[in-house]
Structure 1
C-alpha cells in the first residue's frame, strides 16, 4: 500500500510544499524512504529511512528524520493513517538525520527510547546540533530542541504496543556509538538503522572492526524483511548485507596493508577502496572520511 501526504514545510532548507511518501511495507509497518543526496543538499534533512509500526494499543515511531519539518510530516502521516496514539519514539542512533525530528512528537508525551549510550551522546552534542542544524530545529531553536531518550537499552528490551511485540537490541560501537535495532516479531521485520546501508555508501563514525562483528551477529537473525537506515528494503538479510560487508572488508584489509607498508594517511587516502567507487552512491563525498576513521583506528592495533 502506498499513499502520499501533501504537507507545508516549516524548514528553510526544504521546499515550500512537498509530497511525503509513505509505503506499507508489511502489515502495520509504514516506511518513509529517504533520498540519496549530500549533506549540503536542500533535502539533507530527508535522507534517512524512517517510519512507524501500528499496534492494537498504540504506535511506535522508528526514527524521526533530520529536522522538525520532517518529524512533523511523519507525525501528520501517522495521524492520517491511524487513531492509535504514539506511545514510543525509538531512535536507532545519534545521527542528525534520525533524531532531529523528535521534537515534533513531544506534545503527544511518548516515551523516547534508544541505546543507553544515546543519552550521554545527546547531552554532549546539544550545542553541536544547534550550531550545525539551526535551520532544521523549528521556529524557536534552542539546545532543548534536541530530544534524547528517557529509556535506555543496555542489551535487549521488549515493548508491547498491543498484540505486537517489538524487540529492541543495543549494540557495542559499530556504525556509531549508539546503534540499536528494532525487530517486529509479528511480521519478522527488522529495522536495522544505519547498521545497514544499501545503494548509499556506508558512513563509518564508530569502529570498523566492531561494525563487522555486529554484522556477523545480525546474520543469525531470522527475518522476513529488513529495512536499512538508507536504501531499499530486502527480504534476505544476508544478501542485503553483502555489498556493505565487501566494502567494509576492503576498507579493513587495504587500510591494514597501507599501514604495514608504512604509508602516511594522505598517501593511503589515494589508494584505499578505489575499486568500490562504482558500487556506491556518494562515494566521492564520504569514502575518504571512512578511510581516515579506519586508518586512525587501526594504526595502533
Structure 2
C-alpha cells in the first residue's frame, strides 16, 4: 500500500519541517496513488510552506489499538512526561466504528499521532471518519487533530474548548515543542471545531449512537465525555485518571461533584484519559475519588492551621504518593490549585 505526503515547513528558509500525510490517497500501488493526486490535487493548510511534494510512498506506521468491545478500539498512551523518545505519546485515544462511519475520541500530542490513528482505522475499515471528538483542551489530547480534520471529519468539543485553547495555544506549542521537538508540531494550528456541545448531544455512526455530555468545570473548564451506548463504554477523557497522578486544571470541588454525577451513568467500562486503558465502571474511578478527597481534606487542614501556601504544598496529599506515578510532577500543582480555591471559598 502507498499513501501521499507533502513536506511542510514553518518557513522555507530554515524549517523546522516534517513530512505530512495527505489522508484519502491510499492506493495499492504507487502509480494508482499518483493518479489519485493528479485527479484531485490536495489542499494544504494555510500558513504552511510546502517544500516538496505531493509524493507517494509506502504506508507509514500506525498507532497500536486494541479492540475492547466489538467495534471499539483504544490506544494506550505511556504514563510519562512527553519527551523526544515517546514523541508525546502519553494519553489514551479511541475510535468507534458504526455501520456508516467512524468517530475518533482524542487525537494525541502531535500530527504524527493523528496520522497513526488514520492508518490504524484504515487497517480496520474503509468507512469515512465522520467525527473527531475532543474531551478537553490539553495538548496531549488535541494536537493530533489536523490530519483527521483534513480527511473531512467534523471536529466536536465542549463549547468552552475553543476559547480556552486559543488563550493557551502559544504557551502549549512552546512548552511541548521544547519537550518533544518543534519539528513534531509543524502543522499544529487552531483546532477547527464545527460542533460545540454545551449540554448533551448524540452522534449516530449508523446503528451506533454516541452520547456526548459537557460537564461543569472539573478537571478543566471544558470536559466532555462520550458514551457508546451499544457497548456500554464510557470515554471519560481526563475526568478519570488511573495510575497517572490526576492533574487539576479546573476546580477541585467541581471535579468531585462531577465524578459523583458521572457514577450514575449506566456504563459497563470506562476508558480513562491516562492509565487503564479499560476499567470497570463506576469502580474504576474509586482511586481517583479517594485522591481528590484526601487533597481536599489535607488542604482544608492546612488552611485552618494558618499554613502558608509554600509550606502547605509540601505536605498536602503526601499520603497518596505510593499509589500514583508522576506524583512529584503533579501533586504540588494540584495542592497549589486546591489551596487557592479553598482559601477563598
* TM-score normalized with structure 2 length: 0.79
- What secondary structure is seen at the aligned counterpart in 2 of 1:270? coil
Match in the other structure for 1:204: 248
1:34 corresponds to 2:77: yes
More off after superposition, 18-27 vs 167-176: 18-27
- C-alpha distance in structure 2 between counterparts of 1:240 and 1:11, whole Å: 39
What's the CA shift for 1:285? 1.3
What's the CA shift for 1:202? 0.4
Residues 113, 91 of structure 1: alpha-carbon distance in 2 compared, 3 angstrom cutoff: same
Q: Is the 8 A contact 2:245 2:331 kept in 1?
A: yes
Match in the other structure for 1:5: none
* Runs of at least 5 residues in structure 2 that lack an aligned partner in the other structure: 1-16, 20-59
- C-alpha distance in structure 2 between counterparts of 1:133 and 1:243, whole Å: 29
Match in the other structure for 1:25: 68
Equivalent of 1:213 in 257, 272, 295: 257
Match in the other structure for 1:68: 111
- The structure with the larger Rg is 2
Q: Is the 8 A contact 2:111 2:147 kept in 1?
A: yes
- What secondary structure is seen at the aligned counterpart in 2 of 1:46? coil
Q: Is the 8 A contact 2:132 2:149 kept in 1?
A: no
Question: In the TM superposition, what are the counterparts of 1:210-289 in structure 2 within 5 Å?
Answer: 210-289=254-333
Question: In the TM superposition, what are the counterparts of 1:13-162 in structure 2 within 5 Å?
Answer: 20-40=63-83, 42-43=85-86, 45-134=88-177, 135=181, 138=184, 140-141=186-187, 145-162=189-206
Cα displacement string for residues 67-121 of structure 1 (whole angstroms, at most 9, x for unaligned residues): 1111111111111111111000000000010000001112211110000001211
Cα displacement string for residues 162-203 of structure 1 (whole angstroms, at most 9, x for unaligned residues): 000000000010001110000001111100100000011101
What's the CA shift for 1:132? 2.5
Match in the other structure for 2:228: 184
Equivalent of 2:212 in 149, 154, 168: 168
More off after superposition, 272-281 vs 122-131: 122-131
- C-alpha distance in structure 2 between counterparts of 1:158 and 1:63, whole Å: 17
Cα displacement string for residues 122-177 of structure 1 (whole angstroms, at most 9, x for unaligned residues): 222232233233446757446xx231421100110000010000000000100011
More off after superposition, 41-50 vs 90-99: 41-50
* TM-score normalized with structure 1 length: 0.90
Match in the other structure for 1:7: none
- C-alpha distance in structure 1 between counterparts of 2:310 and 2:82, whole Å: 24
Residues 140, 35 of structure 1: alpha-carbon distance in 2 compared, 3 angstrom cutoff: closer
Cα displacement string for residues 2-39 of structure 1 (whole angstroms, at most 9, x for unaligned residues): xxxxxxxx979xxxx97732100011001001101123
- C-alpha distance in structure 1 between counterparts of 2:272 and 2:216, whole Å: 18
More off after superposition, 128-137 vs 70-79: 128-137
Match in the other structure for 1:3: none
Q: Is the 8 A contact 2:61 2:119 kept in 1?
A: no
Match in the other structure for 2:53: none
Residues 279, 235 of structure 1: alpha-carbon distance in 2 compared, 3 angstrom cutoff: closer
Q: Is the 8 A contact 1:190 1:226 kept in 2?
A: yes
